[in-house]
Amino acid sequence: MNIKRYIGKTNHEAMLKLKKELGKEAIILHTRKIKPKGILGLFKKPLIEIVAAKEENNKSKNDIKGNANFKENDINKLNMEINKLRKTIETHVVSDKEINENKLDDKLIYLKNILTDNGVIDEYALKIINDIDTNFNLSNYYEEDLINLLKESIKFILEGAISLENNDNKKVVFFIGTTGVGKTTTLAKIAANMSLNDEKELGLITADTYRIAAVDQLKTYSQILNLPLEIIYNTKDIYIPMSKFKDKDIILVDTAGRSYKDHEKISEVEEMINLINNKEVYLVLSVNTDFQSMKSIIDNYSKIKGLKLIFTKMDETEKIGNILNAKFYSNYPIAYITNGQNVPEDIEIFDNEIISKMIVGEI
Ligand SMILES: Nc1nc2c(ncn2[C@@H]2O[C@H](COP(=O)(O)OP(=O)(O)O)[C@@H](O)[C@H]2O)c(=O)[nH]1
Ligand SMILES: [Mg+2]
């Protein structure tokens, strides 16, 4: 028995090849769709494979069936042929599984690359991909569905925080983080939006008296926005302006940003925060900071309870995977993102849908 395999773009094409070589007498053993191998073949249309057989001595199936002198010996021979055929088909089924596994790998690699190209570190990209692989049968997904699947997974991980605008319970809001990440600018953006749009009564406090320029910066914003500003030179004195502002809806507190290696100053900030109840504490991180440093910053502020994150300088980076990295590492909810130097417009309440779309390249 002569067994052959034919592949065509369509059933018709594969059949033509088969007929041409084996003739009309050939017996079709097996037909199936196969996916082209390799990453480039991932989303191509499946090919058709036909496995067919033909008797070497040109005896057709019908000839055998119709032979009146059919002997026991012939039956045994026939059984042997059937067993041979069964084995051949089984071998093909195994190779089908192999193709599926390859396909799975390609799709997983494709998804993982989307994440790592955006700056998500390998370890977290693998976690996300493994999770998808465990829960979904990727062999039945085409490109668009795959991307949507990834997008939904990212969305789920990037839980947002309840923003100040939607939370009337929090009264005192601290902005903490290293120098130059955009704490003061972000505070000014939030202050402007809250006093203009939400018509809230606001008070501003700065505990950043390390540089005169820092005080002047917030003083300027407070004058433009017509908001009262109190300056404290000692973090323990936070209660003094608090009593002055007791009728305000929200009090925003700017803190001294030091190097993240400056542990003493971080504990001063921590002590000040611990003097206050009913608060929101935003750890401000620049999305540009390399993830290694970001981890140290998160570690250094980790004693402070209930932190939420703000990511600044989104306008300065193509790689926003750091947001996923930081979220994975800290599990803190994300409250805002900022995307430029303009006060008050360059700030958005964090939206996990938008960031997920950005990571998979939809926007
Ligand atoms: N491109 C860009 N620059 C920003 C953003 N937020 C703040 N900055 C700039 O970063 C610099 C430091 O900001 P500042 O608020 O003084 O940082 P702080 O030391 O943490 O208080 C300033 O030049 C800001 O204009 C942002 O979202 N995008
Ligand atoms: Mg500042």
Identify the nearest ligand to the CA of 210 by its number: 2
Residue 323 lies in a domain: yes
Would you state the torsion angle of the CA atoms of residues 328, 332, 336, 339, taken in this order, to the nearest 10 degrees? Answer: -40
Question: Which residue do the tokens 């939006």 mark?
Answer: 193
Residue 131 lies in a domain: no
| Residue where a domain stops, chosen among 84, 105, 140 | 84
316 and 171 in a common domain:
yes
210 and 73 in a common domain:
no
> Which of 3-12, 85-94, 214-223 is the least confident region?
85-94
325 and 212 in a common domain:
yes
Query: Secondary structure of 191-229 in the HEC alphabet?
Result: HHHHHHCCCCCEEEEECCCCCHHHHHHHHHHHHHHCCCE
DSSP 171: -
Decide if pLDDT at 164 tops 80. Answer: yes
| Residue where a domain stops, chosen among 84, 107, 122 | 84
In 121-262, where does DSSP find H-type helix? 122-135, 143-157, 183-196, 212-225, 239-244
Measured distance CA(279)–CA(187) in Å, rounded: 15
299 and 174 in a common domain:
yes
In the structure, what pLDDT confidence band is assigned to residue 44 with cuts at 50, 70 and 90? low
80 and 176 in a common domain:
no
What is the pLDDT at residue 67?
52
> Which of 18-27, 175-184, 348-357 is the least confident region?
18-27
Residue 328 lies in a domain: yes
Q: Which of 185, 255, 262 to mutate to test the pocket of ligand 1 (most atoms within 8 A of CB)?
A: 185
> Are the C-beta atoms of residues 110 and 146 closer than 8 Å to each other?
yes
Residue 19 lies in a domain: yes
pLDDT tens profile 206-265:
999 877 888 999 999 999 999 999 999 999 999 999 989 999 999 999 998 776 667 777
Both tokens of 345, joined, read 């417009």
56 and 177 in a common domain:
no
Ligand 1 midpoint to CA 178 (Å): 11
Query: Within 13 A of 115's CA, how many CA atoms are on the CB side?
Result: 26
Residue 186 lies in a domain: yes
> Which of 12-26, 112-126, 195-209, 305-319 is the least confident region?
12-26
Decide if pLDDT at 96 tops 80. Answer: no
Residue 333 lies in a domain: yes
Tell me the mean pLDDT in the region 162-171. Answer: 79
- Containing domain of residue 281, as a range? 164-360
Name residues contacting ligand 1 (CB within 6 A).
Answer: 179-185, 257, 312-313, 315-316, 338-341, 346
Residue 133 lies in a domain: no
Nearest ligand 1 atom to the CA of 178 is 20
Shortest-distance Cα residue to atom 19 of ligand 1? 180
351 and 236 in a common domain:
yes
Ligand 2 midpoint to CA 173 (Å): 15
Name the domain count of the chain. Answer: 2
Q: What distance, in Å, lies between the first and last C-alpha atoms of the chain?
A: 58
Both tokens of 140, joined, read 């039945």
Both tokens of 99, joined, read 């193709």
Decide if pLDDT at 94 tops 50. Answer: no
**Higher-pLDDT residue of 265, 334:** 334
What is the pLDDT at residue 101?
40
174 and 60 in a common domain:
no
pLDDT tens profile 260-298:
667 777 889 999 999 999 999 999 999 999 999 999 999
Nearest ligand 1 atom to the CA of 180 is 19
Residue 308 lies in a domain: yes
What is the pLDDT at residue 99?
42
292 and 191 in a common domain:
yes
Ligand 1 midpoint to CA 156 (Å): 29
| Residue where a domain stops, chosen among 84, 109, 134 | 84
Measured distance CA(317)–CA(288) in Å, rounded: 6
178 and 40 in a common domain:
no
What is the pLDDT at residue 90?
56
In this structure, what CATH number is given to the domain that contains residue 337?
3.40.50.300
Measured distance CA(327)–CA(318) in Å, rounded: 18
306 and 206 in a common domain:
yes
